[in-house]
A and B are shown apart, each in its own frame.
Chain A
Amino acid sequence: MTADALQVSFWLMCAGFLAASAGVLAPTPRLARALTAIGSVGGAAAAAWLAGLVLVGPSSLSIELPTLLAAAGGVSFHLDRLGAIFLAVIGAVTIPVSIYGFGYAAAYDGRYSARWIALQTGVFLLSMCLVVCAAGVLTFVLAWELMAVSSWLLVITEHDRPETVRGGLWYLAMTHMGLAALLAAFFLLGQQGTTAWTFGALRGGARGLAPGTRNAVFLLALIGFGSKAGLIPVHVWLPKAHPAAPSHVSALMSAVMVKLGIYGLLRVGLDILGGGPTWWGVVLVAIGASTALTGVLYALVDDDLKRLLAYSTIENVGLIMLGTGAGFVFLSLGQPAAAAVAFSAALLHVVNHAAFKGALFLGAGSVLHATGVRDINRLGGLVKRAPWTAATFLVGSLSIAALPPFNGFASEWLLFQSFLPGVASSRASVAVLLTLGVGALALSGGLAAATFVKAFGISFLAMPRSPEAANAHEAGWAMRLGMAILALACPVLAVLTVPVLSAIGGALAGIGGLPAASTTFSMGIILETPQALARISPVAIMAVLVAASAGGWLGARVVSRGLRRVDDTWGCGRIGQTSRMEYTSTAFAEPLRRIFGELYRPTDDLTVTVQPGSPYHIRAITFRTHLHPWFERGVYDPLVRATHAAASRVRALQSGSINAYLAYIVLVLVVLLGMVIGF
């Protein structure tokens, strides 16, 4: 493929997203939404095409714009295969999400400015694509910051809700904390008198850095990129900000944007630094395991459908980080084949999670659109009122619970397999750590199944628990189309596991000394990990499962007489079932909440009002419960309090009198002059 085709698709991608931003000039909200959708779909298609060209073709994209921001060294782009994997994810998710957004944002017409949403969406999408295309520090940081600010503006779209603004504030603070860490990491990387701030130059210089500097760069990058990805303990903004955004933006943030944190970590840790000592990987595995477990445990007990999904994103980032960490461990132990499997498993989960989390967030958006309710305890019965939404949400739930025959199963299976050579490792400490990692992986898989049985079962099945749910309606065509594409992607990606893995293997080949893809897996219909640790064929499992279920259906049809009577659900002889007899979301999670009670430490408040005559005749029971996550209680609350205290001290300076301010200026000048003379 010629370099021209790459350049053309790059500029088409930019043009598409800029056209989406041009919605800011549209005269009517409907036109603004249409322009956003069409521009975004066009830009995303060009992005996916560009990624595909880089993945299959021998050449990569390179664009130098030395005159743009010349004082800072100019802007430059370079897209290699690692970036192309992520660009493909961005493009592929953006298309259905933008179609969905056209329908979803219609509810905002007249309440919030569709023009501003258009501008921010275009900039947000473009900046995400440019992050993975950036060839140097300046371009990367510019795109990164543009992404942060535009997504923050999108988060606070519903700016008249206090919790939205609060969530946005958390996001803004955390993302800039992360940016500070990133800048520090990049400055440390470039301190060897580098003048060229391209990643290629940094890669060359990184070999000669002192071990202490390399460690500092790695840890700073972990904090900076981890705060975007949602790693513990810098994930705290994610469950506040992701649910607050409009649902299609939540889908983009959870399915795509968090993955750019993973991208950054791979770019700096694996590509530029080329891996490091074993403890890097150990730290990543430990953080990954605790992120996965914390994420899923809080998802399990959350009653807010969108926040539940946000916590589940944290869990999945933890799973990805488990694979990444195992990869770093194997790389440091001189087992590049095992490392390649682990990194491939992580990237496969990046791709798969984008599909099912996108579908789930769009589904949650449709529920919110149809009922105005996010509290699962007030939903129910939607499977009859919104069958499309229910079906897509079910597919997403089964996929995210890692159940065959969907794509989540393929990547979690590979994550398990990637740990096995490590458990067989000769280093006992590594073996024990990875054994516990397998335990964490399995427990989070099981808890995710429970979480999504709750999320789907309580929200969509049985009888509606509120008038809003009873009067719910199905989503419009654009929303249905967007959800259907992403839901369909789940079984399709399961079938295409082997081709996707070979693309990932090609992207990883050569980065940080990883071997070529062809030596990593033996791939046909059957996927085989190296040293024949295991073999699997998602396609065959899917075919046999469908055949066996159909066989059961056919057999039952032949032997039974097919007579059916519709009647009430059995209620111990009581007639007239109401939704108050159903299990609720809180009740469903209660056993697990009690088992892990030491972690949650909920504050429960139970009030029983009895009849005046007898203590056995109960008039009413009120139950309130509140969970304050431990990391907020233990880490962030003191921090916030200290910041407030410091700020109120500083406030004393601000008297509001001009004279005082002039005095400050004079004082500062005197001090500065003194310092200069002192030198």
Chain B
Amino acid sequence: MFDMAGIAVEVGQALLALALAPALAGFIRWMKARMQNRRGAPFWQPYAELRKLFRKDMVVSRHASWIFHLAPFVIFGSTVVVSLLVPVLVTPLPFNAVADLFAVVYLLLLGTVFLALAGLDTGSAFGGMGSSREMTIAAISEPAIALAILSLALAAGSTNLGEIAARTIARPSSAISPGHVLAFVALFIVMLAETGRLPVDNPSTHLELTMIHEAMILEYSGPYLALVEWASWLKLLVFLALAGNLFIPWGLATSLAPSALAVALATTVAKLVVIAAAVAALETRVAKLRLFRVPELLAVSFVLGLLAVASSFSVR
């Protein structure tokens, strides 16, 4: 599979994900606004934000060190690498052979760690608070993610994303097996925590008592802020694509034929729209949890993952 065409499609897919990510974030915001009886900004608003931020000057704290300057690139780079791995259009891709779902999780954790370090670097109380909370949630969501991966891997006989998707395409009945559904719900809960959505974190708040992600990036401005925001939108897209294409993989292209790619593009966009609408509806309906209630939510996810693994014993 180390062919040039495959690599070209892979890079093209990552660029497409990068290009679509702001629209996805804008779409969720727009949907939320409509559900809350507001008119809302158009879905292309985040593109305008990126353009503005990249053109702007930066203000950097005098206490910041090189960590502050390095972090945006590591956060952006690690998320882009993850978008290379996740099947957005085609499966399996050449890069599938060099990293699996555990690598995805730890690459995202790398971005989280650098974000937390950047939050601490300027010495702001907000940054420290955000970092502390972010690492707390990251730490306790790890076991839930691992068990969800485990149940997928048990069914597919591999932790590599290409094999997992291929297996579900080959055996459609496995998509409605209890293990698969439970793992999907477990991963969806973890996704809300990892991407900083309600009920774990509110992406549209700047209230110091509640913010997590926003608290860490408070000191960023200009191009750095643009990179960090873009990376967080890309992370959202990656998780939604994971949820869509691992659990409901139909429509994914298994060859590089243009027609298959066109179908894959259409179905992936449709899946993203549906899941994004679900996220928007959820964010409209639920209130933010207290920080110390979040472990309970993640424990639910962990137990669902455990049940997913256990059900794969009983099915076997």
A646 on the interface (CB 8 Å rule)? no
- Decide yes or no: A449 and B147 within 8 Å by CB, A404-B103, A541-B98, A559-B223 being known contacts: no
- Complex Cα–Cα for A581 and B147 (A): 39
The stretch of A133-141, A456-464, A622-630, A631-639 that contacts the partner chain: A456-464
A67 on the interface (CB 8 Å rule)? no
B242 on the interface (CB 8 Å rule)? no
Question: Are the C-beta atoms of A461 and B309 separated by less than 8 Å?
Answer: no
Chain A residues in 8 Å Cβ range of B313: 428, 431
The stretch of A92-100, A223-231, A243-251, A560-568 that contacts the partner chain: A560-568
Chain A residues in 8 Å Cβ range of B292: 591, 594-595
Question: Are the C-beta atoms of B117 and A417 separated by less than 8 Å?
Answer: no
Q: Which of A380, A546, A591 has the most CB of B within 10 A?
A: A591
Chain B residues in 8 Å Cβ range of A546: 77
A571 on the interface (CB 8 Å rule)? yes
Question: Are the C-beta atoms of B132 and A583 separated by less than 8 Å?
Answer: yes
- Which residue on B lies nearest to A581, using beta carbons? B125
Question: Are the C-beta atoms of B55 and A545 separated by less than 8 Å?
Answer: no
Question: Are the C-beta atoms of A587 and B54 separated by less than 8 Å?
Answer: no
- Decide yes or no: A462 and B63 within 8 Å by CB, A556-B54, A591-B133, A594-B292 being known contacts: yes
- Complex Cα–Cα for A413 and B121 (A): 30
A510 on the interface (CB 8 Å rule)? no
* Mask: chain A, 405-446; 1 = CB below 8 Å from B; 0 = not: 000010011001100100110001001100100111111011
Give the contacts of B273-316 with A (CB-CB under 8 A).
291-292, 295, 302, 306, 309-310, 313, 316
A492 on the interface (CB 8 Å rule)? no
Interface residue from A416, A563, A581, A582 paired with B58 (Cβ < 8 Å): A563
The stretch of B37-45, B78-86, B245-253 that contacts the partner chain: B78-86
B95 on the interface (CB 8 Å rule)? yes
Question: Are the C-beta atoms of A548 and B226 separated by less than 8 Å?
Answer: no
Nearest-CB distance from B217 to chain A (Å)? 12
- Which residue on B lies nearest to A443, using beta carbons? B143
* Mask: chain A, 550-564; 1 = CB below 8 Å from B; 0 = not: 111100100111011
A544 on the interface (CB 8 Å rule)? yes
- Decide yes or no: A401 and B121 within 8 Å by CB, A383-B66, A535-B160, A552-B77 being known contacts: no
Chain A residues in 8 Å Cβ range of B112: 449
- Decide yes or no: A582 and B141 within 8 Å by CB, A548-B80, A560-B223, A577-B63 being known contacts: no
Chain A residues in 8 Å Cβ range of B158: 532-534
- Decide yes or no: A446 and B159 within 8 Å by CB, A404-B106, A461-B121, A552-B76 being known contacts: no
Chain B residues in 8 Å Cβ range of A564: 57-60
Question: Are the C-beta atoms of A403 and B123 separated by less than 8 Å?
Answer: no
Given contacts A435-B147, A548-B76, 14 further A-B contacts (CB under 8 A): A438-B146, A449-B135, A456-B117, A461-B67, A533-B153, A533-B158, A535-B160, A545-B107, A548-B81, A556-B73, A556-B224, A559-B223, A588-B132, A591-B136
A-side residues, CB < 8 A to B, are 380-381, 383-384, 390, 394, 398, 401-404, 409, 412-413, 416-417, 420, 423-424, 428, 431-432, 435, 438-443, 445-447, 449-450, 453-454, 456-458, 461-463, 526, 531-537, 540-541, 544-553, 556, 559-561, 563-571, 577, 579, 581-583, 587-592, 594-595
